[in-house]
Amino acid sequence: MLIEIADKSGFCFGVERAIRLTEEAAERYGEIYTLGPLIHNSIVTDSLEKKGIHIADEISDAAGKPLVIRSHGVTEDIESSARAVCSDCIDATCPFVKKIHNIVSQQPEASAVIILGDEKHPEVIGIKGHARCRAYVCADIAQIKALYESGELSYDEDAALVIQTTFDRGRFAEYSQDISKNYCRVKIYDTICNATTERQKNAEELAKRAALMIVVGGKSSSNTGKLAEICARHCTTVFVQDASQLSKQLIKGLRSDSIIGITAGASTPAYTIREVHRTMDEIIKTNENEELDFASMLEQSFRRVYTNNRVKATVVGINKNEAVVELGTKQTGYIPLDELTNDPNAAVSDVVSIGDEIDAIVTKVDDSNGVIFLSKKKVDSALGMEKIAASKEANETLEGVVTAAVKGGVIVITNGTRVFIPASQTGVPRSGKLEDLVKKTVPFKVIEINEQRGRVVGSIRQATKEVRDAEKAKFWESIEVGQKFEGEVRSIEDYGVFVDIGAVDGLVRTSELTWNRVGHPKDIVKEGDKITVIVKSFDPEKKRVSLSAKDPNENPWTKFVADYAIDDVIKATIVSITEFGAFAQIIPGVDGLIHISQISTDRVTNIASVLAVGQEVDVKIIDIDTEKSRVSLSIKALMEDAAPVEEASDAE
Ligand code: SF4
């Protein structure tokens, strides 16, 4: 705040002169009297009293003593009496007032004098006391008008108009036009003191710019009262007698760039003005310090954060595009959605909830708008990068959600970090679509990491291979002959089919597809078929597993052994012919061999000439090898059984 003292304020020329004359007289006489207070300011009069300058209410109080007539002046009669009664009469009447006395006293006796002013003011009383003609005191134009309308004054008679020196010039300007226009015989003497006018003018100019005007002067000083009245038209105005009446309350609510004006009436000494100035200055400084302290304390109560600071923030609001956070600063924090997460498919509410305490990095501090922008994903990414680096170090498999298929691969988000998986590492075949992976959770291994650039490259293939390797290792550790698996036919070959039994593909040879005789595996299964298989044998080193799709409970050999025995004669169907004999099916799944030597009692050199595939023949079971599950059949044995037995010769 700025304190400004009005250019013209305080003692006027007349008051200063009166005090000087009085003090000089007091020095000369040791003790003197003033007729009434020298000025309307108790501070000054108290001070003068200490210098032996007393106040006489009546002339008789100063009889025989030197008496000072103050600047207001007195009536002619009082002046004469004073000169007669007192030892000396020092006339300190202001020359400007004296001039009015002269104007008034010089008016012809037949004329009239109008004194515009306060009839109770000593100056006005004194002026009136110098008139030798009719004298009227009017406070305003209405009273002048009343004089004429009542006939007290005639429009035809000459009259003089004088004005109390401290009268408001603005009001007089209004009246003078009216008087000139309506009362043309009135001669106007502008006796308003310039000191008063200038004080009023300066005070008004200052009041127009100020937020507060302090008018200093005695409560009974009319010119000070007028200053206060003028100032009050423009701003808050206080009327004080001295600095003791000032308080901090006066500047409450004022802006820091406010102007505080000080003006003072003509009876206010310079030291009182200085004291008021100094006191106000102290009040302002104290207030500013207090405000500064408060502001400083307030400032200190807030955290200061700077760009790139990592901070803890509490989520206090969520909207579509951002999270609003509180971080103990005077600014409000905002985390835009794209700074909350790397996942382009996520909503704000998917990432944070109101009340969450989160770590974030300050990306921008905008003091002018009172906002701070932050990024959660940078923290997550940094933390994620640490975890990813540790995972790579430990050769761990990570999991993440595929958020997008991009040129050359897919993006996976894990631990808040973006990981690029090249297409060749996705495990998706060239003919497949990378888009099919989007929104799926996938395992991957980190194959490249650049923490500075925040670049991570991963491989789903390596992760799945590792899983499969682990599964294979476990498989080989636990595999047993006779173990049953539910498998899927992967491929079909002439010699059998490969069946996926989880960790490995096992081979089911054609003969093991069914108990029945099989021409080609395609006649039994097709790729993708689910079949039950049993481990027949395995070789961990060669990673080979032989499987059988035959159900042991349906083993036809068991049925054969139970139902047939050696020497049984049965019907069988020729199913194949070889060089050494023909195979004949006894029951489905059990074929017996009719050796070439057992086809006939005659010598057979060409089997096909005597037997044909599909031919049903009667055969005799001549041998059963249970260990090798082989059956030997014979047609010849039946032929021999049927041959007549020759009788023994008598000669024998
Ligand atoms: Fe004189 Fe003017 Fe001061 Fe009155 S205000 S004492 S007229 S100088």
User: What ligand 1 atom has the least distance to the C-alpha of 195?
Assistant: 2
Q: Compute the radius of gyration of the chain from its Cα atoms.
A: 65
State the fold for domain 294-375.
Answer: OB fold (Dihydrolipoamide Acetyltransferase, E2P) (2.40.50)
* Burial group, residue 638, by CB count within 10 angstroms (0-12, 13-18, 19+): middle
Mutate-to-test residue for ligand 1 from 165, 190, 223, highest number of ligand atoms within 8 A of CB = 165
Q: Are 204 and 196 in contact (CB under 8 A)?
A: no
Domain ranges of the chain: 14-163, 294-375, 380-465, 479-554, 556-648
User: What ligand 1 atom has the least distance to the C-alpha of 165?
Assistant: 7
Distance CA 201, CA 234 (A): 13
Q: Going by DSSP bridges, is the β-strand pair 112-116/159-163 parallel, antiparallel, or unpaired?
A: parallel
Centre of ligand 1 to C-alpha 267, Å, is 9
Question: What type of residue is 58?
Answer: E
Alpha-carbon separation of residue 279 from 41, 46, 215, 245, 286 (angstroms): 19, 21, 14, 10, 10
pLDDT higher than 80, residue 41: no
State the fold for domain 14-163.
Answer: Rossmann fold (3.40.50)
Q: Do the domains at 294-375 and 380-465 have one common CATH topology?
A: yes
pLDDT higher than 60, residue 646: no
Q: Are 18 and 92 in contact (CB under 8 A)?
A: yes
The protein residue with its alpha carbon nearest to ligand 1, atom 1, reads 14
Close Cβ partners of 400 (under 8 Å, ≥ 6 residues apart):
412, 413, 414, 415, 419, 441, 442, 444, 458
User: What ligand 1 atom has the least distance to the C-alpha of 194?
Assistant: 2
pLDDT for 651 equals 39
The protein residue with its alpha carbon nearest to ligand 1, atom 8, reads 14
pLDDT higher than 90, residue 251: no
Distance CA 587, CA 572 (A): 8
Distance CA 15, CA 156 (A): 39
pLDDT for 506 equals 94
Distance CA 224, CA 239 (A): 8
Mutate-to-test residue for ligand 1 from 9, 13, 68, highest number of ligand atoms within 8 A of CB = 13
Residue with tokens 């004089």: 147
User: What value does the mean pLDDT take over residues 538-558?
Assistant: 90
pLDDT higher than 80, residue 109: yes
- When pLDDT is cut at 50, 70 and 90, the band that residue 40 belongs to is confident
Residue with tokens 């009434």: 36
Q: What's the CATH class of domain 380-465?
A: mainly beta
Mutate-to-test residue for ligand 1 from 20, 70, 94, highest number of ligand atoms within 8 A of CB = 94
The protein residue with its alpha carbon nearest to ligand 1, atom 6, reads 14
For residue 322, the tally of other CB atoms under 10 A from its CB is 19
Q: Per-residue b/e over 23-53, b at no fewer than 16 CB within 10 Å?
A: bebbeebeebbbbbbbbbbebbbeebeeeeb
Centre of ligand 1 to C-alpha 9, Å, is 12
Alpha-carbon separation of residue 155 from 113, 162, 163, 175, 333 (angstroms): 13, 18, 20, 17, 82
For residue 97, the tally of other CB atoms under 10 A from its CB is 24
User: What ligand 1 atom has the least distance to the C-alpha of 71?
Assistant: 6
CATH architecture assigned to 479-554? Beta Barrel (2.40)
Centre of ligand 1 to C-alpha 18, Å, is 10
Structure tokens at 622: 């001549």
Centre of ligand 1 to C-alpha 84, Å, is 27
Centre of ligand 1 to C-alpha 125, Å, is 15
Q: What pTM does this model have?
A: 0.45
The protein residue with its alpha carbon nearest to ligand 1, atom 2, reads 193
DSSP SS3 for 641: helix
- When pLDDT is cut at 50, 70 and 90, the band that residue 649 belongs to is very low
Distance CA 411, CA 418 (A): 7
User: What ligand 1 atom has the least distance to the C-alpha of 223?
Assistant: 5
Find the residues whose C-beta lies inside 6 A of ligand 1: 12-15, 71, 94, 96-97, 165, 193, 195-196, 266
Mutate-to-test residue for ligand 1 from 96, 101, 201, 222, highest number of ligand atoms within 8 A of CB = 96
pLDDT for 255 equals 82
- When pLDDT is cut at 50, 70 and 90, the band that residue 331 belongs to is confident
Residue range 471-487, pLDDT digits in tens: 888 889 999 999 999 99
User: What ligand 1 atom has the least distance to the C-alpha of 196?
Assistant: 5
Distance CA 405, CA 390 (A): 26
pLDDT higher than 90, residue 515: no
Distance CA 140, CA 168 (A): 11
pLDDT higher than 50, residue 648: no
* Burial group, residue 417, by CB count within 10 angstroms (0-12, 13-18, 19+): buried
Residue range 67-93, pLDDT digits in tens: 999 999 999 999 999 999 999 999 999
DSSP 647: P
State the fold for domain 556-648.
Answer: OB fold (Dihydrolipoamide Acetyltransferase, E2P) (2.40.50)
Question: What type of residue is 123?
Answer: E
Q: Are 566 and 621 in contact (CB under 8 A)?
A: yes
pLDDT higher than 90, residue 343: no
Centre of ligand 1 to C-alpha 194, Å, is 8
Q: Are 468 and 521 in contact (CB under 8 A)?
A: no
Centre of ligand 1 to C-alpha 12, Å, is 6
- Please identify every residue annotated as catalytic: 123
DSSP SS3 for 643: coil
Q: Are 151 and 104 in contact (CB under 8 A)?
A: no
Question: What type of residue is 527?
Answer: E
Residue range 577-630, pLDDT digits in tens: 999 999 999 998 899 999 999 999 999 999 999 999 999 999 999 999 999 889
Structure tokens at 229: 């009245």
User: What ligand 1 atom has the least distance to the C-alpha of 72?
Assistant: 6
Centre of ligand 1 to C-alpha 266, Å, is 7
Q: What percent of the chain has pLDDT over 90?
A: 58
Q: Are 101 and 130 in contact (CB under 8 A)?
A: yes
